[in-house]
Structure 1
Amino acid sequence: MNTAQALALLGGMSPNQFMKRHWQKKPLLVRQAMPGFVPCVGRSDLMALAGQEGVESRLIVDSPKGWQMKHGPFSKRGLPPLSQKKWTFLVQGVDLHHDGVHALMQQFRFVPDARLDDVMISYATDGGGVGPHFDSYDVFLLQAHGQRRWRTGRQKDLSLQPNVPLKILQNFEAEEEFVLNPGDMLYLPPKYAHDGVAVGECMTWSIGFRAPSQSELARELLLGLADEAFERAGDALYRDPKQAAVSASAAIPPSLVGFARQVIDRALDSPLLLESLLGAYLTEPKAQVWFEASDAEADLSKGVQLDRRTKMLYDEKHIFINGESFRVAGRDAVSLRLLADDRSISAQKIKSLSPDAQDALRDWASEGWLRAA
């Protein structure tokens, strides 16, 4: 992607300008970010997705009895009638299930793939919404059908309404108000409060970003470190032939502490362990994602492209794909990085790969991670 090129998507700014001026700093309203936008997923398509096992969906109703929320899957009969006002249903990760939605998400790859998460689509009847709230991540809100009125504001008081199944702000104060039409888009940085209400029937596409917490990373990386420590640990038993007699028998001997520390030190001495664990974690498929394996030998003669569900990243020493880590160097590294960036690779580039790298492509194809271009 040419990050210096002005884009209608960003209101005439280049990705460089947008990231410098707005990313994680301040909102941006773009009228006709996608001029003449016609959604490739309609209401009936979304309802069909919401009825599938393995697709994350929610139904939210603003009723006289208060807010109500249910988790899918939903049958068509399980949804309120379209004539009923103030209800919405949301389907998460639609890009995993639809090529057109996945293609649209590629327009936002001026942000690193390690941060790009998914596309959520919400359908709402007149007055429908999820209440005033804030997200802990960046989001682009693209109006796909109908109109939605947004009220936004910097919110100092982040206290939430009690006894409500949604995280709704208790004292929301709006600073600005916009009505978005199809093709309009609103960017909001993390924790910027917003309340979107459908004006008639509407659909909104939310392009969301991943923001792992330190505690989340600590848990996952330490689990990987534990596996590494176990693999590197020997079967040697603790020995203390120089242990003296003690009068304080409950005190732990310093030599035993040192013996235990050796196990951790051996794991930490493993070169590039942190990078390997982080890349594998960032490309781990979501729980509801699965691939169909094939016994047929992959045809690499016309090039290959990544399956829309495949996550592929890289660093200076590794290629990461769907939770697995591979050390690469030289021409293989250059070509496989191109596959990760472009999500496809030509037959000519494949021919330049080493036999081991070509075998890796065939293995990935047999796992369903990529397919013929």
Structure 2
Amino acid sequence: MYTLNIDTQAFIKQHWQQKPLVIKQAFIDFEDPIAADELAGLACEEEISSRVVVTKGDDWDVVQGPFEDYDQFGEDNWQLLVQAVNHWYPDSQALVEAFRFLPDWRFDDLMASFATPGGGVGPHIDNYDVFIIQGDGERRWKVGDKGQHKRRGDNPNSPLVDDFEPIIDVVLQKGDVLYIPPGYPHCGETLSLALSYSIGFRAPSQQELLTELADSLIDSNQGHKRFNSVDEPATPGMISQSHQQGIMDLLTQLAQDPASYQTMLGKLLSQNRFELDICEGEEPLTADELLEAIEQGAIIQRIGGLKVLQLENDNEQRLFINGEVYTFANVTNDMLQLLANQVRITPEEASVFTANAAALDILTGLLNQGLFYLAEDDCE
């Protein structure tokens, strides 16, 4: 178990999405959730997103995985980064759990890195919130203030920026955490062989929202209302300000109508950027077999990275799971909350489903789709 040594509500009020923060010994007696050789092994897999960043003076080369070996990179000045480790390495889920004081819809992934002395990715700006957790070894981090920072090589699409004046300059040691909100330039330098972890939280952009909303309206055959007016401009070639605003108000009306956007939001926010480790069994499970497994003490476990979300004030009994809608007939809100909030459902908790045939069928279907799996209680 990992327990953050901070007042989470005070953090949200004073720092979240506002300003960076160094939390020394945020985790007391921190233990790395994954070893360096295990991380290197994950980066050998085709379906797992990984890369090596090689430091070359004031420049950086990026080599995309998978990797067969690492001898080519030498003994210093490189860093291995593996995305979505929580999808593929169940033991890392406990570290993710420590940050669930923030909503699941924001959570992106747990990235793990192994770095040699001098390794880093260069000064850059992220468009998401990130918590950097130091494991074995030491890394020096510099964080600059928000502002107009020149992009490296004058490339407006590059995340890299020119050097900046730091407002934070700190050496992170095992168990330390550095929080960086979007827009703050930062740069890490490895001082000794090091393992570190980045937990990212994202929100959709306006582009993403409009794209998803348009697709949703087409799929549901909604959004046919057109602009009409009671006044016209004096000249035929003019689009008046009132017409401009009236046309754009059509979008505002959609944004104020839950029936127009809720399904789209639920599907969008429950999707993952990275591939999931789907856990389908060899033979489909029946509802009776699930009942028997629960009676024998099986845990119903969510696969790593899976998002199970519920909309507040939803007028339907449904959940959004991995970009899909799951409607539950004749279930209580407690059942929906249990699935949305619990990564592990104990036999005692699962008993609320066993008395509801429809809910049990849906739960059986989720297991057969490989989104959940049956596990033993490792606390016994």
Q: CA deviation at 1:120?
A: 0.7
1:125-170 Cα deviation digits (max 9, x unpaired):
1111111111111111100110001111203122211178962212
Q: CA deviation at 1:296?
A: 3.0
Match of 2:373 in 1: 371
1:136 and 2:127 equivalent?
Answer: yes
Match of 1:173 in 2: 165
Match of 2:344 in 1: 344
Match of 1:361 among 350, 363, 380: 363
1:72 and 2:65 equivalent?
Answer: yes
Q: CA deviation at 1:203?
A: 1.6
Q: CA deviation at 1:327?
A: 3.6
The residue identity in structure 2 corresponding to 1:321 is: I
Task: Give the CA RMSD over aligned residues.
Answer: 2.8
The residue identity in structure 2 corresponding to 1:179 is: V
The residue identity in structure 2 corresponding to 1:136 is: N
The residue identity in structure 2 corresponding to 1:47 is: A
> 2:276, 2:306 within 8 Å by CA — same for their partners in 1?
no
1:48-87 Cα deviation digits (max 9, x unpaired):
1111111111111112583211111111146512x2x211
Structure 1: distance between partners of 2:275 and 2:326: 24
> 1:319, 1:337 within 8 Å by CA — same for their partners in 2?
no
1:47 and 2:35 equivalent?
Answer: no
Structure 2: distance between partners of 1:297 and 1:223: 34
Match of 1:37 in 2: 30
The residue identity in structure 2 corresponding to 1:345 is: I
Match of 1:116 in 2: 107
Q: How does 1:230-241 map to 2 (within 5 A)?
A: none
Structure 1: distance between partners of 2:128 and 2:82: 18
TM-score (norm 2): 0.79
Q: CA deviation at 1:113?
A: 0.3
Check 1:216–1:223 CA distance in 2 against 1; reply closer, same or farther (3 A cut): same
> 2:132, 2:197 within 8 Å by CA — same for their partners in 1?
yes
Percent of residue pairs bearing the same amino acid type: 34
The residue identity in structure 2 corresponding to 1:29 is: V
Structure 1: distance between partners of 2:172 and 2:49: 26
> 2:139, 2:172 within 8 Å by CA — same for their partners in 1?
yes
The residue identity in structure 1 corresponding to 2:174 is: P
1:62 and 2:50 equivalent?
Answer: no
Whichever of the two has the greater Rg, that structure is 1
1:321 and 2:338 equivalent?
Answer: no
Structure 2: distance between partners of 1:356 and 1:276: 22
Match of 2:205 among 191, 194, 213: 213
1:209-258 Cα deviation digits (max 9, x unpaired):
1121011121122112211119x99xxxxxxxxxxxxxxxxxxxxxxxxx
Q: CA deviation at 1:329?
A: 7.0
Structure 2: distance between partners of 1:29 and 1:347: 40
Gaps of 5+ in 2: 225-250, 376-380
Match of 1:288 among 266, 270, 275: 275
Check 1:23–1:268 CA distance in 2 against 1; reply closer, same or farther (3 A cut): closer
> 2:124, 2:186 within 8 Å by CA — same for their partners in 1?
yes
Structure 2: distance between partners of 1:35 and 1:351: 36
Give the 3-state SS of the residue equivalent to 1:170 in structure 2: coil
1:11-66 Cα deviation digits (max 9, x unpaired):
4x2x2111001101112211111122121212111111111111111111112583
> 1:331, 1:352 within 8 Å by CA — same for their partners in 2?
no
> 1:157, 1:171 within 8 Å by CA — same for their partners in 2?
no
Structure 1: distance between partners of 2:56 and 2:346: 54
Give the 3-state SS of the residue equivalent to 1:362 in structure 2: helix
TM-score (norm 1): 0.81
Q: How many residues align?
A: 330
Check 1:65–1:118 CA distance in 2 against 1; reply closer, same or farther (3 A cut): closer
